[in-house]
């Protein structure tokens, strides 16, 4: 299981967005057929293929290059507007959501990294202070034992 430091809000947000986008486009396939006049032979494989691609990208978001694949999916979703015009709107909405998830996720990741770095500095400082205090206590114990040894 990943530690708290390894969890990325960016990855979680983008995975959720691209998964929902895949579902929305897959469910748009019947609309493409009935309203858009797109053949079932094109609409169904396109919708299901896009859904599978979105799920795969959501799973690959551990790797930095997968975010570029996410952007490519946004372009494909918008381009589906040439088949049925409502996909221009849906594609743009999801592209904005993807962009905000990516942008805000990066910002949160940077702020978390800075906060964890500061936490590490504080912990190191406290450990050094405790180590210094125990060294001082050991030195004073040695001094006390030296004094008692020199007494008759």
Tens of pLDDT along the chain (152 residues)? 457 767 889 999 999 999 999 999 999 999 999 988 899 999 999 999 999 999 999 999 999 999 999 999 999 999 999 999 999 999 999 999 999 999 999 999 999 989 999 998 999 999 888 888 776 666 665 555 555 555 55
Q: Which two tokens stand for residue 114?
A: 């800075």
- Give me the number of domains the chain comprises: 1
Q: What sections of 61-85 are H helices per DSSP?
A: 66-79
Our CA angle for 110, 114, 120, nearest 5°, is 145
Residue (of 98, 78, 92) closest to 11 by Cα position: 98
Give the integer Cα–Cα distance in Å for 18 and 97: 9
User: Would residue 145 count as lying in a domain?
Assistant: no
Give the integer Cα–Cα distance in Å for 62 and 41: 34
pTM: 0.76
User: Would residue 76 count as lying in a domain?
Assistant: yes
Give the integer Cα–Cα distance in Å for 72 and 36: 24
* Host domain of residue 52: 10-108
Task: Classify residue 33 as left (phi > 0), alpha (psi -120 to 50) or beta.
Answer: alpha
Alpha-carbon distances, residue 83 vs 79, 110, 136, 139, 149 (angstroms) = 8, 40, 78, 82, 96
User: Would residue 142 count as lying in a domain?
Assistant: no
User: Would residue 136 count as lying in a domain?
Assistant: no
User: Would residue 59 count as lying in a domain?
Assistant: yes
Our CA angle for 105, 50, 34, nearest 5°, is 125
User: Would residue 81 count as lying in a domain?
Assistant: yes
Q: Is 49 helix (H, G, I), strand (E, B) or coil?
A: helix
User: Would residue 150 count as lying in a domain?
Assistant: no
User: Would residue 96 count as lying in a domain?
Assistant: yes
């Amino acid at each position: 299981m990943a530690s708290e430091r390894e969890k990325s809000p960016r990855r979680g947000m983008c995975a959720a967005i691209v998964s929902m986008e895949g579902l929305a486009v897959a469910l748009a396939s019947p609309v493409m057929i009935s309203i858009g006049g797109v053949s079932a032979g094109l609409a169904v494989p396109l919708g299901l293929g896009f859904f599978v691609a979105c799920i795969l990208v959501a799973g690959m978001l551990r790797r930095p290059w997968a975010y570029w694949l996410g952007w490519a999916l946004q372009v494909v979703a918008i381009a589906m507007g040439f088949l049925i015009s409502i996909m221009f709107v849906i594609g743009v909405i999801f592209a904005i959501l993807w962009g905000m998830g990516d942008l805000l996720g990066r910002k949160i990741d940077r702020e978390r990294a800075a906060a964890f770095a500061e936490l590490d500095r504080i912990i190191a400082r406290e450990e050094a202070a405790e180590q210094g205090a125990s060294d001082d206590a050991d030195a004073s114990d040695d001094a006390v034992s030296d004094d008692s040894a020199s007494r008759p």
